[in-house]
Amino acid sequence: MNKGKKEMMANVLTPLVIICMAFLFASVLILSAGFNPVAAFYHLFAGAFGTKASLINTINKAVPIAFAGFAVALSKKAGIFNIGIEGQLIFGAFGSVLPGIFLKGLPAVIHIPVCLLSGMLFGAAYALLPTLLFVKRGTNLMVMGIMMNNIASLVITYLIVGPFAGKNATVSSTEMVEESAFLPYIITKPNKLSIGILIVFAVAFLMWLFINKTSIGYELKMCGANRQAARYSGIKVTFYMTAALLLSGALGGLAGGVEILGNYHRMYDSFSPGYGFDGIPIALLTGGNPIGVIAGALLFGALRVGAMKMQTQVGVSTEIITVIQGTLVVLIACESLIRFQLSRAGRRKEEKA
C-alpha cells in the first residue's frame, strides 16, 4: 500500500476508533450503573433515526453544530484554535434578529440574506477583540474565548430581558421577526425542516473549494503547518491568522442566524444548549474535512435527540451524552498515539503478508 493510501486509511480509521472507544467507555459506565448498554444505545439511535419525525429533529439539531464545526475547522487550518464560537453564535443570532424585526416591507429574497449577513457581521465583530489582542499582544486566545463566551451569554440575556424584550412574550425573548425573514421550509410534515440544511451543504462545498483549490487557501494551510516557514516564504502570517479568526466568527454568527430564522423566528434567552462547544470536538475529530464535519454533526445531533428516549425506555440518564462528548475530547488529545498504534498494526500486517 502506497503512502497516500495509508494516510487516507489513517484519516478514516482514527476517528472511527476514537468514536468506538468513547462508546465503549460509556458502555462500561452504563453497565456499572446496572443498565444494559446495548438496549441503551439501541433506544438512543432509535430515538434519533427511528421515525421520519425523529430524523428531521436530528437534522435540525445537526445544522447549527455543523456550522460551528466549520468555524472551528477554518481557524484550525490556520494553526489557531477558536474556542469562542458559542459566544459568536449567540451574538450572530441576535444580529440576525434585529433586521428581521426592524426592517419591514422587504421581499423574502432580500430580507433573508440581509438577516443572515447581519448575523455573520455580528459574529465576526464579536471575534474582533480577542483576535486583535491575540495578534497584536499575544494574549492567550483560549482564555479570551472562554471569557467572551460567558460575556456574550450575559449581555444577550440583558438585551432580551431589557431593551429588546418582546411585548407579549410569555418567556424571555425578543419580538417575532417579520414573516419575510423566515427561512423557507423544504419539509413541513411531520416536523418542519428549513433550507438551513441546504445552506450547510453549500458552505461545506465552498469551504472545501476555498481550502483545497485556491492559492489563498493553500497559504492559509501553510500558516497552520509551519508558521515560521510560511513567514520566511513571504506569506503574511498575521493577515491570515486575523482573517481566519474573523471568518470563523462569521461562520459562528451564521450558525446562530440559521437556527433562529429557521426554527424559532425570535431570539430566546439560552436558545443554544452548547452548539458552539459541540463543533469543537467534531472539527478536531475530522481534521477539518467539511464532509466529515457534517457526518460528525449528525452524530452529535443524534446524541442530543435520542438521549431522552434512552432515558425513558432504559433509565440511563441523558448526562451520559456529556460523558461521551467529554471522552471524545480526551481521546482526540491522544490522537497521535492512536494513529501510531494503527500505523504499527498496519506494518505488522504487511510484514506477515
Structure confidence at residue 228 (pLDDT):
87
- Domain extent listing, the chain: 1-35+316-353, 49-309
Q: What is the CATH number of domain 49-309?
A: 1.10.3470
pLDDT band at 337 (very low <50, low <70, confident <90, very high): low
pLDDT band at 62 (very low <50, low <70, confident <90, very high): very high
Grid coordinates representing 108?
423574502
Alpha helices, DSSP H only, in the chain? 3-32, 37-49, 52-77, 85-102, 108-137, 141-161, 196-213, 215-225, 227-232, 237-259, 275-285, 290-314, 320-333, 335-352
Grid coordinates representing 226?
509551519
Asked whether the whole model's pTM tops 0.85, one would answer yes
At residue 3, does pLDDT exceed 60?
no
Q: Which helix (H) or strand (E) holds 187?
A: strand 185-187
Lowest mean pLDDT among 75-84, 105-114, 181-190, 320-329: 320-329
In this structure, are residues 194 and 184 in contact, taking their beta carbons and an 8 Å threshold? Answer: yes
Rounded Cα–Cα distance for residues 209 and 13 (Å)? 24
